Structure 1
Amino acid sequence: MTDTTPQQDVPTAAEERRRADRVLDTGALRALAHPLRVKIYDILSQYGPQTASSLAAQLGESSGATSYHLRALAKHALIEECPDRGTGRERWWQRPVGGVTFANEEALKTPAGRSVTQIVMNEFFRNRHDQLMAYIDSGIVNHGGPWDDAALISTASARLTPEQSKELSLKIMTLIDDAVATYRDQTGDDVRPVTIRADIFPLPDLGGPS
């Protein structure tokens, strides 16, 4: 006997992980929509726990200013205190484990929601782009270092349908998720924070023959 019941697609690990991402609500997006707060959030994401003083030293701000912004971020659970570090005078902060999504479908339905989302995403990716350009400049000046063959900066173009683009995105996310889960807490002399970035998006239609 042949089973003709339609089979549901089995979600991949990447799809399950994406569904578990926290979708930032409008309140959290508003709290994050400040250039210094985006930088603080990104430092905690990339380098791990920090204090107001360590963040102030890195950002050229006063510890009073960074402490104020840390509390604003914590109010919306964007960051949290480290449970096993710090004293009454020196509080350590960390970004909770797990992914976040800036694009909230409900927020994007309103002009105010679109505006705050754009501010957050522009600042976030501007910071990441600045890091990329600084690495490129450093690589040109200090060519021959141990990371020359370990890093990857590559672009490519392909002609895909939306379904094929989604499939490729999930394959890449599966690799990234596996690396993050495996090496998240790794330490050692040669270990450094590494940013992993994947961009897949449709190019503008130039209106020519397809």
Structure 2
Amino acid sequence: MENDNPGRTLDAGALKALAHPIRVRIYDVLSEQGPQTASTLAVIIGETSGSTSYHLRALAAHDLIKEVRGRGTARERWWERPRGRINLPGPDETQSPANRAAAQIVTAEFFRLRHQTLMNYLNRPANEQSEEWRDAGLVLTTILDLTVTQMQELQEELSAVVEAAIERYRGQEGQPGVRRVSLRAEIFDLPTPSTGRAASEQEPQ
């Protein structure tokens, strides 16, 4: 997600406001495609404009989105996602069951949409891509054997690369030849096998 500030960790109210598949989808569209109205969102996600308008108001009530200044009319308002990273709180035994459920709904829907975006890219026919962009993407997966300290170091290195890219290319939106792209960095430990060969004996994938 975009990062113009250290990030906002969603509180219980914001999490509950976002904990609806349509609202997560609206939030995702605003992140990927920029400002939209209730009508344009309705076309994109296949809902009525009345439905999208209702969900937009719910998101705006918790400052998850904001109205675009100087654009639109009283009847046709434009909405955007404020720039900056959002952080979803992880499972915490101090959370109420309702708050934990809301966090799980939001996280599950975000990652479902993230996976769908990746699959759409992988399944896009070559004739639907311009030649100069056709080989520009990269999907790379590998398996490493690391200590927890090494994984933390690698996580920091990857984060630094992403942060540097954000700063380097900030402000290019709308310029000729510029497209919005998805940049993903993932690193996490895999469950320890309970049967079969030890993890250290498995072949890299």
Please report the TM-score for the alignment, with normalisation by the length of structure 1: 0.82
Name the residue aligned to 1:69. 55
The one-letter code sitting in structure 2 at the alignment partner of 1:149 is D
SS in 2 for 1:64: helix
Work out which of the residue numbers 197, 202, 207 in structure 1 matches 2:184: 197
Work out which of the residue numbers 1, 17, 24 in structure 2 matches 1:31: 17
2:83 & 2:69 partners in 1: Cα distance? 14
Offset at residue 57 of structure 1 (A): 1.3
Name the residue aligned to 1:114. 100
Name the residue aligned to 2:171. 185
1:109 & 1:35 partners in 2: Cα distance? 21
Name the residue aligned to 2:203. none
2:128 & 2:68 partners in 1: Cα distance? 36
Runs of 4+ more than 4 Å apart: 104-108, 139-144
The one-letter code sitting in structure 2 at the alignment partner of 1:25 is D
Render the CA deviation track for 1:175-194: whole Å, top value 9, x for unaligned: 22222233343123422211
Change in 2 beyond 3 A, CA 1:183/1:48: farther
Aligned Cα root-mean-square deviation (Å): 2.4
1:143 & 1:58 partners in 2: Cα distance? 20
Which moved further from structure 2: 55-64 or 133-142?
133-142
2:187 & 2:4 partners in 1: Cα distance? 16
Name the residue aligned to 2:67. 81
Render the CA deviation track for 1:159-203: whole Å, top value 9, x for unaligned: 122222222122212222222233343123422211111111110
Name the residue aligned to 1:93. 79
Contact 1:40–1:55, Cα closer than 8 Å, also in 2: yes
2:32 & 2:113 partners in 1: Cα distance? 12
**Identical-pair percentage:** 48
Aligned length: 194
Name the residue aligned to 1:6. none
The one-letter code sitting in structure 2 at the alignment partner of 1:188 is Q
Render the CA deviation track for 1:44-100: whole Å, top value 9, x for unaligned: 111211111111111111111111100000111111111232222221111111101
Name the residue aligned to 2:44. 58
Work out which of the residue numbers 144, 150, 167 in structure 2 matches 1:158: 144
The one-letter code sitting in structure 1 at the alignment partner of 2:168 is T
SS in 1 for 2:22: helix
The one-letter code sitting in structure 2 at the alignment partner of 1:197 is R
SS in 2 for 1:54: helix
Q: Are 1:124 and 2:132 an aligned pair?
A: no
1:140 & 1:83 partners in 2: Cα distance? 39
